[in-house]
Structure 1
Amino acid sequence: MAITQTSISKVSIISDFKEITKMRLSLSVVFSAIAGYLLGAESIDFGIIVLLAFGGYFMVGASNAYNQIIERDLDALMDRTKNRPIPSGRMSVNSAFTLAVIFTILGIGTLYVINPRTAMYGAISIFLYTSVYTPLKTKTPLSVFAGAIPGAIPFMLGWVAARNDFGIEPGTLFAIQFFWQFPHFWAIGWFLFDDYKKGGFFMLPTGKRDKGTATQTIMYTIWTVLISIIPVFGITGDLKLSIVAAVIVFALGLVMIYYALELFKKRTATAAKQLMIASVSYITLLQIVYVADKFIR
């Protein structure tokens, strides 16, 4: 019996760790950062990739832990979040805060080993997510704009880790992921509208699931796709894209635009969920195509 209880306890601790750091989201951020590094690297240093992976995870894990500490009372009101470690009582605020502080130090420290500029952008990301985006979520739909800034940093962070410089190339990577986040988060805000409402979060640009929100979603989706193919024109420095890769990226973008148009037509939670899945597929496949194109060319 004691062995069984110990096993359950270990499983619970691991599960809570995954949830307080939002492991799936954190790993997607690490994926973006490594993709950015591979695009920027003139020669691959696997040591930097490891540092970037751990530093990126610590950075996002810290942001998510701070977020869940701040929103613990609101999380308790929503079905989607009420079983998180803090509102469910499985983890104390002090424990979560200790974890967040340790992750902040480890994250910035690990990124600093790569270069100070990478650490600076990592620190900016934690600050904006925790101190700007999180408090604004219950006050204004503009919180999505504030949240899109730290959310767009990982892709460019990889390039900065590779080159120790910020220019047109990481700026373009930032712009792609920045604009992409609007249709992505508005789709989530649409199909979770009722649950978000319980916590006092109004994530949609008009505050409603209406034509205005759907129209803006289409516009930002189109801008995302257009920015994604800009490197094919040779105006983004060392960040280049072949015609074949640009056609593939554009075709992937058309799929996302299709689901944005479907949301406008149907305005249902199902249509919003389909757009969210399409958006995740788009950004993941785009990063794979960008990296593959660099090494195949």
Structure 2
Amino acid sequence: MEEIQKIETQSISLSGKFKAVTELTKARLNLSVVYSAMAGYLLGANAISGLTMLYLGIGGFLVVGAANGFNQIIERDRDLLMKRTMNRPLPTGRLSVLEAMIACTIMAFVGLYLLFLINPLTVGFGAFALFMYVLVYTPLKAVGPIAVFVGALPGAIPALLGWVAATNDFDIEPGVLFAMQFLWQFAHFWAIGWIADEEYKKAGYVLLPSRERDTRTATQIVLYTLFTIPVSLLPFFGITGSLSLSWVAALIILAAGIFFLIKAIKLFKTREIKDARALMFASIIYLPVVQLVYVIDKFI
């Protein structure tokens, strides 16, 4: 089997290899991370630097892409057991482990170097996120639900990263951006975990907080959604330094939060996969909407 995969890997064209590396980075998901980083940058910047934004965008994309790639290298055997991941570049043999390692290492070093060109804090947080995601979160996924908490730490870095790229300073403002994205991830990831629970278990992953699609898990989803909403509104109360919100922006964010919460409560009531999917889409809408409102409110 390994010899067949090797022959298939060698026969793939250069363009096919490039496409496989792009898939390794989870490019579409990666762009949402860059979006959060750019929002954080615009919120923190007094004067916008196109060069800094370029370094942040490309550097952030490469570091996240490397993290996603290293994750797939480590999980390649488990990925083969799940329909949602069995067609990734490594399980299909479109990339060898060595090729993936080389690509991810280059992306990591180039990405971190670009973040270093911005300032020391930016590269520090970028390196922390890469380390936590690859060497702590990824191994813990096979241990149990604790992985979700640990994974939320690097997952909450992007907006914070953008702020420190703009200011070279860590204070309450990036702390609030971090806290909001940290709390948001639980409902988001557990909705995905609810949908893919059977698939995850085939690969040996048990990631829902109670380990089952039950009331305990649904309760925690509702609670973390509830926690996310007031944290998202903290800038309205004038206690978050230079990060502030007008009452109009606060009302829009509150409305988005209520929509998000309604989806979480619906899942609590029904415990059906279709409602977990609705919650997942609501979470995907919520975070970028809140970040966009923050940015627009600053500049109008």
Q: How big is the shift at 1:116?
A: 0.9
Match of 1:35? Answer: 39
Report the counterpart of residue 109 of structure 1 in structure 2: 113
1:78 corresponds to which residue? Answer: 82
- What is the distance in 2 between the residues matched to 1:210 and 1:21? 33
**AA matched with 2:125:** Y
- After superposition, the CA RMSD in angstroms is 1.0
Which amino acid counterpart does residue 85 of structure 1 have in structure 2?
P
Partner amino acid for 1:42?
N
Residue 68 (structure 2) aligns with: 64
Cα separation, 2, equivalents of 1:153 and 1:68: 21
1:205 paired with 2:214, answer no
Aligned to 2:153: 149
Per the alignment, residue 4 of structure 1 pairs with: none
Shift of 1:10: 5.5
Question: How far 1:17 moved relative to its partner?
Answer: 2.2
Write the letter of the residue equivalent to 1:104. A
Report what 2:243 is aligned to.
239
| Aligned equivalents of 2:16, 2:190: Cα separation in 1 | 32
Give the TM-score of the pair, scaled to structure 2: 0.95
* Cα distance in structure 2, aligned partners of 1:46 and 1:160: 16
- 2:9 match: none
**Alignment pair present for 1:49 and 2:62:** no
Task: Give the counterpart of 2:290 among 286, 289, 294.
Answer: 286
Aligned equivalent of 2:276: 272
Separation (CA, whole Å) in 1 of partners of 2:193 and 2:15 = 31
CA distance in 2, matches of 1:68, 1:98: 13
Give yes or no for the alignment of 1:127 onto 2:131. yes
AA partner of residue 94 (structure 1): L
What TM-score does the superposition give when structure 1 sets the normalisation length?
0.96
Task: Answer yes or no: is 1:261 the counterpart of 2:265.
Answer: yes
Please give the secondary structure, in 1, of the residue aligned with 2:156: helix
Match of 1:217 in 2: 221
Is the contact between residue 21 and residue 103 of structure 2 (CA under 8 Å) also seen in structure 1? no
Which amino acid in the other structure matches residue 121 of structure 1?
F
Task: Tell me the amino acid that sits aligned with residue 211 of structure 1.
Answer: T
Give the distance between the partners of 2:67 and 2:194, measured in 1 at CA. 24
Q: Give the distance between the partners of 1:188 and 1:13, measured in 2 at CA.
A: 29
SS at match of 1:229: helix
- The C-alpha deviation readout for 1:20-68, integer Å capped at 9, x for no partner, is 0000111111000000000000011111111100010011001001100
Amino acid at match of 2:91: P
Distance in 1, Cα, partners of 2:235 & 2:135? 33
- Does structure 1 conserve the Cα–Cα contact (< 8 Å) formed by 2:17 and 2:95? no
Which AA in structure 1 matches 2:175?
Answer: G
Number of the residue aligned with 2:195: 191
Q: Mind listing any 5+ residue stretches in structure 1 that lack a counterpart?
A: 1-7
Distance (Å, rounded) in 2 between the aligned partners of 1:291 and 1:248: 13
Q: CA deviation at 1:283?
A: 0.3
Cα offset for 1:11?
Answer: 5.3
| C-alpha displacement of 1:12 | 2.9
Separation in structure 2 between the aligned mates of residue 223 and residue 148 of structure 1, nearest angstrom: 15
**Which of the residues 247, 252, 256 maps onto 1:252?**
256
The amino acid that maps onto 2:133 is Y
Instruction: Classify the secondary structure of the residue corresponding to 1:84.
Output: coil
Deviations 1:168-220 (A, max 9, x none): 00000000000000000000000011111111111100000000000000000
- Show structure 2 runs of 5+ residues with no match: 1-11
1:17 aligns with 2:21: yes
Q: Residue 42 of structure 1: SS of its match in structure 2?
A: coil
Task: Kindly report which structure 2 residues correspond to 1:80-95, keeping only aligned pairs within 5 A, or say none.
Answer: 80-95=84-99
Distance 2:78 2:257 in 1: 35
